[in-house]
């Protein structure tokens, strides 16, 4: 029993350590991603600034600002449309839920089967005990007269 408990403890510690490693990796990657986002925003701002000055020399500052704003809005709209369709599909989530529910049902069925087998073992043990009791009682009833004949009381 203690061997099984030790195995469960080792498994739990290993899972905890793996979760800790995944957390550290996620934090590190998120920090680098945040720095990358800052540089992308700086680059986007500078490209807007450059586009504004490139267009304003031929069309004027008001029209240049309008063109840069329209381009930014178009890029933002495309990103929003892309973001709405990004990620796992609903069918994948539905499939994952079905698999989880199936595994849960199978596990519950296995647990019920083990419970039934344990109940059957207990019933069999009681039956063996009852049979042994009745056998020992019958043996005593059969052997008592025979032993009485064989063994005589001293006078």
Distance CA(17)–CA(11), nearest Å, equals: 10
Q: How far apart are the first and last CA of the chain?
A: 59
The pLDDT value recorded for residue 46 is: 93
The pLDDT value recorded for residue 9 is: 80
Going residue by residue through the chain (155 aa), what tens digit of pLDDT does each one get?
467 677 778 888 888 888 889 889 989 999 998 999 899 889 989 999 999 989 988 999 899 888 889 998 998 899 888 878 777 677 777 777 788 787 777 777 888 888 899 999 988 888 887 776 666 666 666 666 666 666 665 55
The pLDDT value recorded for residue 147 is: 63
CA atoms within 13 A on the CB side of 130: 6
Asked whether 68 and 52 are in contact (CB, 8 A), the reply is yes
Asked whether 16 and 24 are in contact (CB, 8 A), the reply is no
Q: Torsion angle, CA of 52/56/79/31, rounded to 10 degrees?
A: 0
Within a 10 A sphere around the Cβ of 54, how many other Cβ atoms?
A: 13
Residue linked to tokens 């500078």? 46
| 68 CB-contact burial (10 Å; exposed 0-12 / middle 13-18 / buried 19+) | buried
The pLDDT value recorded for residue 142 is: 67
For the entire predicted model, the pTM comes to 0.47
The pLDDT value recorded for residue 138 is: 64
Query: CA–CA distance from 53 to each of 44, 72, 132 (Å)?
Result: 14, 15, 104
């Amino acid at each position: 029993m203690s061997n099984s408990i030790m195995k469960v403890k080792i498994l739990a510690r290993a899972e905890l350590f793996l979760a800790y490693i995944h957390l550290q990796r996620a934090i590190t990657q998120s920090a680098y991603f945040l720095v990358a986002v800052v540089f992308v925003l700086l680059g986007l701002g500078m490209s807007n600034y450059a586009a504004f000055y490139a267009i304003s020399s031929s069309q004027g500052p008001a029209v240049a600002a309008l063109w840069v704003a329209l381009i930014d809005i178009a890029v933002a709209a495309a990103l929003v449309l892309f973001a709405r369709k990004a990620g796992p599909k609903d069918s994948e989530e539905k499939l994952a839920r079905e698999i989880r529910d199936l595994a849960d049902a199978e596990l519950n069925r296995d647990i019920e089967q083990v419970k039934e087998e344990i109940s059957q073992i207990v019933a069999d043990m009681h039956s063996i005990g009852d049979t042994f009791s009745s056998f020992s009682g019958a043996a005593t009833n059969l052997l008592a007269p025979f032993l009485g004949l064989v063994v005589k009381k001293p006078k």
